[in-house]
Amino acid sequence: EFQKYGYDLAVELGDLEHKALYIKLAKETPRKILEQARNFVKDAGRVKSRARLFMWKLTELKKEWKKKK
């Protein structure tokens, strides 16, 4: 299940070159955080690199999540 989600995420971000990374993220990162980052990229509109924006937002969300713990 996480493999499909990771692959779909790579396709959506236009970064099939790094699909293994997204599969790993889908396996190890809470789905809620991944969805928040994914929705952030969707709402951003035209972006130079959707994958880079996704990874930046994911890092920010993980920092917030760790602070709350």
* pTM listed for this prediction: 0.89
Res 47: pLDDT: 87
Q: Of 69, 68, 8, which is closest to residue 54 (Cα–Cα)?
A: 8
- Give me the residue spans of the domains in the chain: 2-68
Res 68: pLDDT: 82
Query: pLDDT tens digits for the chain (69 residues)?
Result: 899 999 999 999 999 999 999 999 999 999 999 999 999 999 988 889 999 999 999 999 999 998 887
* 42 DSSP 8-state letter: H
Give yes or no for a contact between 66 and 58, defined as CB atoms under 8 angstroms apart: no
Res 45: pLDDT: 81
Res 49: pLDDT: 93
